[in-house]
Amino acid sequence: MAEVLLTADSLGVGFNQPLFAPLGFSLFAGELVCLVGPNGAGKSTLFRTLAGLISPMSGKVTLCEKTLEDYSARERSKLLALVFTAESIPSGMTVEEFVALGRIPFTSFFDHRTKEDYAAVAMALRDADVESFASRELCALSDGERSRVFLARALAGHARVLLLDESTAFLDVPHTLALFRLLLRVAREQNIAVFLSTHNIDYALRFAHRILALDGSGNACIGPVNTVVNNGFLTWAEIGINEKE
């Protein structure tokens, strides 16, 4: 049995009212789990809760055998990296500088970088296959290149759990395929848990080890691809959601 990296116990997330029924699941080392669901189902909110940016409404999250609340922000960010949908992109920042920001949880008061930091950045650039344009500017990249750079930033911090919020948005077919393959490889080689929220359900079904599906009306289901499909948790993707006035 693979190592458990993150566990949610009857976790309820949301702001004023829970977005879906309390949820229990674990993420294991070496696996790619995809989070699918219609817009507004609570995918981003779930990620932000798992990352400790929002407090859970109920239940708790355990990260590497310790409750999330017991971590300092810095210790937490060493174990878990969150990649956002639309990180605002400053011009004038190179790929390498951006990826080096992933080392911020490790740097000292004046943001001094050690040899170790530089080595980690170089390795992340290589693992995410962005070495060839490391000195280019972030805002001059294509969406496909940028999605890999965001991944490299997360890898540079050697986090055990990666949460990627809709990293496949804006990508064409070859880049989506490449990113899924890259995520699978990274999960296996670095023995980490990769949790990706995506609207590319077809690729999620094809590549993910497990699926966490939200149906948009308060129900959630996690399991291997077949279980989720057979339980009817993807009908919203096939026949649409019944609009209720």
Partner 1 sequence: MRHPVLGLVVLFFLVLLFAGGTLFWGPTDISFQRVWSALFFPGSDVSATQILWELRMPRVFAGLFAGASLGLSGLVLQSVFRNPLAGPFVLGVSSGASLGVALVLLAGFGRGSLGILSAAAMGAFGVIFLVLFCSKFLEHSVSLLIVGLMLGYLIDAMVSLLMYFSDAESLRGFVTWGMGSFSRLTLSETPRFAGVFFVGFALILAGIRYLNVVRLGDAFAESLGIAVRPYRLIVLAGASLLATGATVYCGPISFLGLAVPHLAYGIFRSSNHRVLIPACALLGALLALMAGWITEIPLNAVTSLLGVPVVLWVLLASRHRRSGGVRG
CB 190, min distance to partner 1, A: 19
Nearer to partner 1, 74 or 126 (CB): 74
Q: Does 51 bind partner 1 (CB under 8 A)?
A: yes
Residue 128-147 contact track with partner 1, rule CB under 8 A, x = bound = ---------x-xx-------
Point out which residues pair with 58 in neighbouring strands: 12
Q: Assign residue 86 a region: left if phi > 0, alpha if psi is -120 to 50, beta otherwise?
A: beta
Burial of 71 (0-12, 13-18, 19+ CB in 10 A): middle
CB 68, min distance to partner 1, A: 13
- Binding-residue total with partner 1 (CB under 8 A): 36
Nearer to partner 1, 113 or 188 (CB): 113
Residues 13 and 42: beta-carbon distance below 8 Å: yes
CA angle 169, 174, 176 (to 5 degrees): 30
CB 89, min distance to partner 1, A: 8
- Show the beta-strand stretches assigned E in 102-224: 161-165, 193-197, 210-214, 220-223
CB 82, min distance to partner 1, A: 4
Q: CA-CA distances (angstroms) from residue 66 to 63, 70, 105, 154, 203?
A: 5, 7, 18, 21, 33
Residues 172 and 144: beta-carbon distance below 8 Å: yes
CB 3, min distance to partner 1, A: 23
Nearer to partner 1, 167 or 200 (CB): 167
Which positions from 61 through 120 interact with partner 1, judged by CB under 8 A?
A: 72-78, 81-82, 84, 87-94, 97-98, 101-102, 104-105, 107, 109-112
CB 53, min distance to partner 1, A: 6
Q: Helix count (H) and strand count (E) of the chain? A: 9, 10
**What is the contact surface with partner 1 in residues (CB under 8 A)?**
48, 51, 53, 72-78, 81-82, 84, 87-94, 97-98, 101-102, 104-105, 107, 109-112, 137, 139-140, 157
